[in-house]
Amino acid sequence: MGKLVIANNLTLTYENNQVIKTANFTINSGDFVFLTGISGSGKTTIIKSLYGELKPHSGDLRVGEFNLFNIKKSKLAILRKHLGIVFQDFKLIPEWNILKNVMLPLLIAGVNKNEAEKLAIEYLSQVKLSHKADKYPAELSGGEQQRAAIARATIHNPVMILADEPISGLDEYSASLVMDLFIKANKKGITIIIASHTIPTDFGIDFRQLHIEKGKIYELA
Ligand SMILES: Nc1ncnc2c1ncn2[C@@H]1O[C@H](COP(=O)(O)OP(=O)(O)O)[C@@H](O)[C@H]1O
Ligand SMILES: [Mg+2]
């Protein structure tokens, strides 16, 4: 499997707060990675750097063919079309119903509306939300919103899914459903990176653990 992410002496800072210090790690296509560390260790910071929201302060960061050090806006938009991003607070569009939220990446990719709708209906059924298609995000529980967010993050068949604390705050049932969806996506070949303070016990597939401590990244599993 090819290398999808390469970080070489990567330093990430906010003004003069150095959060990640000369980190070195690689992620291969098809990996399932948990990014762990205590609160404030820099998990979100790394996730942000991987979708180009936070520029490296120094060092190299490559995602696929893209060098994130001085990536142009137009290139960043292309990179993001190949990613699926899942947030702890879902970030669904409140004014749009669930079906349209799930269609979003396809509409951005220029897929025609009928095609997009057909596929979104299929993905909503996979995440067991067919009956909520015409509801708005505020009308769904947290677990249901996160399932919709994952349908949205996978519908365009991304190369990689970045998920920041996707199950914290969800009940046990929703959390395990959500994890199953990540496993399913990974079995289709999608690389998964999940920032999480814990790893579910008896996790069903092989995974890697990159642990952040005091600005350094260690491979634990
Ligand atoms: N926008 C920001 N400006 C300044 N400091 C920040 C910002 N975001 C996060 N930090 C700081 O960076 C460190 C790492 O934060 P974060 O990546 O959010 O940690 P985690 O996700 O592991 O809880 C923390 O000390 C946090 O206070
Ligand atoms: Mg965080």
In whole angstroms, give the CA distance from residue 61 to residue 79.
13
* Ligand 1 centroid to residue 187 C-alpha, Å: 32
CATH code for the domain defined by 1-76+191-221: 3.40.50.300
Q: Is the pLDDT of residue 87 over 90?
A: yes
In whole angstroms, give the CA distance from residue 108 to residue 31.
26
* Ligand 1 centroid to residue 81 C-alpha, Å: 26
Task: Write out pLDDT tens, residues 122-155.
Answer: 999 999 999 999 999 999 999 999 999 999 999 9
* Ligand 2 centroid to residue 142 C-alpha, Å: 18
The chain-wide mean pLDDT, for the chain, equals 95
- Domain boundaries defined on the chain: 1-76+191-221
Chain-centroid distance of CA 14 in Å reads: 22
Residues with CB under 5 A from ligand 2 (ion): 43-44
> Can you name the residues that pair with 93 across neighbouring β-strands?
none
Identify whether the C-beta of residue 36 lies closer than 8 Å to the C-beta of residue 210. yes
In whole angstroms, give the CA distance from residue 124 to residue 153.
12
Quickly state the pLDDT bin for 197 (edges 50, 70, 90): confident
Q: Of 11, 35, 44, which is best to mutate to test ligand 1, by the most ligand atoms within 8 angstroms of its C-beta?
A: 44
Please tell me the least confidently modeled range out of 25-29, 76-80, 166-170.
Answer: 166-170
pLDDT of residue 1: 65
Q: Over range 115-121, report the average pLDDT.
A: 98
Note if the pTM is more than 0.75.
yes
Quickly state the pLDDT bin for 176 (edges 50, 70, 90): confident
In whole angstroms, give the CA distance from residue 33 to residue 191.
8
